[in-house]
Amino acid sequence: MWLVTLLLLYSLQEVNSEDVVSTRLYFVNASLQRVTFSSSVGVSLPCPAGGAPHAVLRWYLAAGDDIYDVPHIRHVHANGTLQLYPFSPSAYNSIIHDNEYFCTAENQAGKIRSPSIHIKAVFREPYTVRVADERSMRGNVAVFKCLIPSAVQEYVSVVSWEKDTVSIVPVSISSSSWSLKQCEFYLVTMVTDANRRAE
């Protein structure tokens, strides 16, 4: 009888230890800090946390307010995905479309909170980038800057420079008089008569 009791206690202990091991909470992508999306497209954002067994996922504003559904604007799906639908400029609401959110996951293991994620909507609008005139004497350095309109500056990046509709390939200063610095600036490291008028 003692042997049967010991075997039962041992098997119960094994089951409990397995439950502890299999019950956990984890972050899927804890590095996500910012999401910028177009108002004409919308965005779907899975909760960056999860758990086993199944965890209850909830979204909140950074201030701690519960997220509620706004028809055709914002919805939290049963799987924990936060969806912001495409919207017109007249439907813009900074509390919804330019705010910090966080997600929590909760199960028997406890509760974890994701880092805050800044979600920002931007309006798709036409814009033009330009280069301001720059004067430099022969033999000196000329620095050109790509001027991006402030309304789109936050989400537009310079990816290349062109001269007479031909892309300029980045090269090292030592091999040429042309250089690109972090794409936003274009350097002519030694101005000559040939390139003084070419820019």
In order of their start, the domains of the chain are 24-122 (2.60.40.10), 130-196 (no CATH)
Q: Is the peptide bond prior to 53 cis by the omega test (within 30 degrees of 0)?
A: yes
Q: Where is pLDDT greater, at 92 or 180?
A: 92
Q: Please state the φ and ψ torsions of residue 149, each to the nearest 5 degrees.
A: -55, 140
Q: Is the dihedral of CA 150, 154, 156, 158 positive or negative?
A: positive
Q: pLDDT at position 146, please?
A: 79
Q: Which residues contact 28 (CB under 8 A, 6 or more apart)?
A: 46, 47, 48, 49, 50
User: Is the confidence at residue 177, as pLDDT, over 60?
Assistant: no
Summarised one tens digit per residue, pLDDT across range 118-128 is: 999 988 777 78
Query: With 80 as the cut, is the pLDDT of residue 152 above it?
Result: no
Residue 95 confidence (pLDDT):
93
Chain centre distance of CA 115? 13
Per-residue model confidence as pLDDT tens digits over 41-67: 999 999 988 888 889 999 999 999 999
Residue 188 clears pLDDT 70, i.e. is over it: no
